Amino acid sequence: MKRRHGPVRPRRFDFVDVTLRDAHQCLWSTRMTTAMMTPILGAIDRAGYAYINILGGAVFDVCVRYLHENPWERVKLLCSRLATPCDALTRGQSLYTFELFPDDIVALNSQVFARLGVKVLTVYDALNDNRNIESSVRSGHEAGMKVNAMMTYTLSPVHTDAYYVERTKELVKLKADFICIKDPTGLLTPERGRTLFPAVVKAAGSVPMQLHSHCQSGLAPEVYQIAIASGFRFGYTASEPLANGASLPATEDIAARAARLGVRTAVEAAALKEVAGYFSCLCESEGKPRGEIAKYDPALYEHQIPGGMISNLRYQLQTMKLEHRLPEILEEVPRVREDLGYPIVVSPFAQYVVTQATLNVVQRERYKTIPDEIRKYAMGYYGRLAAPPSAEFLERANIRPGDVVTERPAEHIEPWIPKLRAELGASVPDEDLLLAAFYDKALLAPLRNPAPGCTFRTSPLQELIRFFGTRRDIEFAHVRFAGTEMTFSAQAS
């Protein structure tokens, strides 16, 4: 019998949709409501995605704080309406926030996911300390879900290919069903992919690899192509109008690249076109931006700050009348990052690095003020650091060797459920108990309001009418098409 040599090229590449999650998180500050999603779910379901990512930390949080939607209701509705299996992401032991939760809350969250219909639990830890996802992986499996474990990519002298191979081996050992490289700031390059991807594919063995990379540098589509050629099995992508820029690559683009490599995909072009058409119209009706292909910016590789965060920082500096200090702050960021042992510039550590850099610049003295969370981070309360902090920082923070903790971070946290049950009553639904664990009562009150109605179908004509309805300059509109005729007029104000 003839034996095959060389790398085995996968016969197919499959897609995980992020249009309902990361795409609007990056481009619309996470403000896509459930009612904006439901009309097009049928077409998304027909588009041939392997999984549809419907939840992440920011989506959960924005649902509660700003959209005043109950996030569990959204999860339940999307899971019940979509035949394609749904994927929900958490920040591991931190779930949706930046603090660490006890194991019992993490386990209850997994049970609630499974009960609401989530099929894949995707989980990451912002320090790549896999002890912080152990509890999620175990409880996700116990609840009957598959678990996709992510490791976060960053650039630093310590985040080498060997570092990621080590993390991959840990995740294989944890029995992850998928392993994903998550590149939240779009720092991967084709060159790095050529060495990193084959190395992790080999280390992952039979566990399929996924890629989740953003387009800030404009290089992500090329990077996906390298991943496909290296044997990755899945890629996270978005519908074309909500792809690119700070978002992820377009499904259409990556499917075409796979086809050119001779790799089969399951995507259905007609359904993708319908989905893209709908979201293009929605951008117009809602006055929201489309994703624009980013210009290559070499500074990105220095400060590594996600695009959304820079605009947020600029806004905050504006309110402090300190906008002119932004360039100085961006220069201070890589120095702070080195001092802090190269945290990955992703939530919440992006916030740490940027805030410390801002304090250093504004106070004209480095580390005069050090936020409590940064001291705790440096002492290991959130997990293992990629490299030891600098002597200058440790001295200013007054951290001595004896202050450093080495056990799994959640070991420090007592169970919460008994206390919450006692407070809320034994019959409180698990969903409400979790919300009470995450948020103050006052924030949860608006969630009791009835949810706005959703429609589950639409058409180009309906979207045209919706667009006219949002224009306050149009006082009269008459549309006739193929036997349909509609007239609207607005009262002159």
Partner 1 sequence: MPRQDLTYDDVLRIVELVKTAPFSEFRLKVGDIEVHLRRRNGLDGEVQSSPAAVATARAAAPAPSAAREPERRFPEGSVLVRSPMVGTFYRAPAPDAAPFVEVGQHVEPDTTVCIIEVMKLMNSIAADTRGVVVEILAANGAHVEHGELLMAIRPDPEDG
- The contacts of residue 422 (CB under 8 Å, 6+ apart) are none
- Residue 67 or residue 203: which is nearer to partner 1 going by CB? 67
Token pair of 271 as six digits:
């359904």
- If one asks whether residue 414 binds partner 1 (CB under 8 A), the answer comes out as no
Q: How far apart are CB 13 and partner 1 at their closest, in Å?
A: 26
Alpha helices in 363-398 (DSSP H): 372-378, 391-396
Q: Site for partner 1 (CB under 8 A): how many residues?
A: 62
> In angstroms, rounded to a whole number, what is the distance separating the alpha carbons of residues 21 and 266?
21
* Binder among 211, 246, 267, 276 for partner 1 (CB under 8 A): 276
- Residue 160 or residue 318: which is nearer to partner 1 going by CB? 318
- If one asks whether residue 31 binds partner 1 (CB under 8 A), the answer comes out as yes
Say how many Å lie between the first and final Cα of the chain, rounded. Answer: 83
Beta bridge partners of 487: 478
- If one asks whether residue 333 binds partner 1 (CB under 8 A), the answer comes out as no
Which of the stretches 111-119, 222-230, 360-368, 418-426 binds partner 1 when contact is defined by CB under 8 A? Answer: 360-368
Strands (E), 39-162: 51-55, 86-90, 118-123, 146-152
Which of the stretches 49-57, 141-149, 351-359, 425-433 binds partner 1 when contact is defined by CB under 8 A? Answer: 351-359
Query: Which of positions 417-446 make contact with partner 1 (CB under 8 A)?
Result: 440
Q: Say if residue 190 is preceded by a cis peptide, omega within 30 of 0.
A: no
- The contacts of residue 268 (CB under 8 Å, 6+ apart) are 46, 47, 48
- If one asks whether residue 328 binds partner 1 (CB under 8 A), the answer comes out as no
Pair type for strands 118-123 and 146-152: parallel
- If one asks whether residue 286 binds partner 1 (CB under 8 A), the answer comes out as yes
- If one asks whether residue 390 binds partner 1 (CB under 8 A), the answer comes out as no
Strands (E), 22-101: 51-55, 86-90
Say if CB 227 and CB 193 are below 8 A apart: yes
> In angstroms, rounded to a whole number, what is the distance separating the alpha carbons of residues 208 and 424?
42
Whole-Å CA distances, 337 to 155, 230, 350, 383: 11, 31, 9, 16
Letters for 49-88 (x = contact with partner 1 by CB under 8 A, - = none) are: ----------------xxxx--------------------
* Binder among 14, 104, 125, 274 for partner 1 (CB under 8 A): 274
- If one asks whether residue 476 binds partner 1 (CB under 8 A), the answer comes out as yes
- Residue 405 or residue 490: which is nearer to partner 1 going by CB? 490
Binding site for partner 1 (CB under 8 A): 31, 33, 35, 65-68, 98, 273-274, 276-278, 280-281, 284-287, 316, 319-320, 322, 351-352, 354-355, 358-359, 362-363, 368-374, 440, 452, 459-461, 463-464, 467-468, 470-482, 490, 492
